[in-house]
Amino acid sequence: MKKLSLLFAAIFVATASFAQTETETSTFYSAEFNWHIDLPPGFEQIEAAVWDLQKGVPDSLLTDSLDHGYPKTILAFKSADYNYFESNWQHYDKLERGDYQDHCQSVANQLYQTFADQFPEAQIDTASSNQLVGTLDFEKFVLKMTLPNGVTLNSYMYSRLFGDKEFSANVFYVNNELGTMLLQSWLYSRFE
């Protein structure tokens, strides 16, 4: 009987410990943008340099992204391959690039066209609007693409200017439950 009690106690401790690690969240802070975001449980943070390499940014350009026009990754985290969040920034020169809203619409049009060209049989729906995140207003572009096999890819892009820096946050998912977690993490983040 004593062995059985010890076994149940060990199982309880093990499951209690496991449950705690599964529900713990970690917080990321960017001093540059005075931004706090809680990573959802079960998501893995990816180092910025590793994320950039996975996106195909050549290693030689990572050290000086401003001179080459590549966005600089701030934070990336994911669960499985097709459920992720990434944030980045890049220099934005209004004299060179023009009106910011026009720029955002141009980026949205390019993204739509790229997906439409690559997946001509897919059904693609898009929407553009503004979204408050904390107390800040962001440009928002949503693209939902349903492939012929029934899989739906969801892409949410948020961006705004902080002086001469364009901040972008991108949420991409195929699993709706994980997508909800990603969106909540982003929408409840704080800029102070």
Concatenating the DSSP letter of every residue in 63-131 gives GGHHHHTPPEEEEEEESSTT-EEEEEEEE--HHHH--HHHHHHHHHHHHHHHHHHH-TTSEEEEEEEEE
Q: Each residue of 112-128: pLDDT tens digit?
A: 999 999 999 999 999 99
Please, which pLDDT band fits residue 73 given cuts at 50, 70 and 90? very high
Share of the chain above pLDDT 70, in %: 80
Q: Helix (H) and strand (E) counts for the chain?
A: 6, 10
Please, which pLDDT band fits residue 3 given cuts at 50, 70 and 90? very low
pLDDT at 23: 37
pLDDT of 66 higher than 60: no
Which residues make Cβ contacts (< 8 Å) with residue 31, sequence separation at least 6?
none
Q: Each residue of 143-171: pLDDT tens digit?
A: 999 999 999 999 999 999 999 999 999 99
Share of the chain above pLDDT 90, in %: 71
pLDDT of 132 higher than 50: yes
All structural domains of the chain, each given as residue ranges with its CATH number in brackets, are 25-191 (3.40.1000.10)
- Residues of the chain by 3-state class (helix, strand, coil), percent to 5: 40, 40, 25
Q: Each residue of 77-112: pLDDT tens digit?
A: 999 889 999 999 999 999 999 999 999 999 999 999
- Mean pLDDT across 41-59: 81
pLDDT at 53: 79
pLDDT of 140 higher than 70: yes
Q: Range with the lowest mean pLDDT among 16-20, 88-92, 170-174, 187-191?
A: 16-20
List C-alpha distances in Å: 47 to 9, 55, 59, 158: 38, 12, 14, 21
pLDDT at 142: 98
Q: How many of the other CB atoms lie within 10 Å of CB of 163?
A: 7
pLDDT at 36: 97
48 near 76, Cβ under 8 Å? yes
Tokens of 145: 């693409």
Which residues make Cβ contacts (< 8 Å) with residue 67, sequence separation at least 6?
none
Instruction: Identify the bridge partners of residue 90 per DSSP, sorted by sequence position.
Output: 166
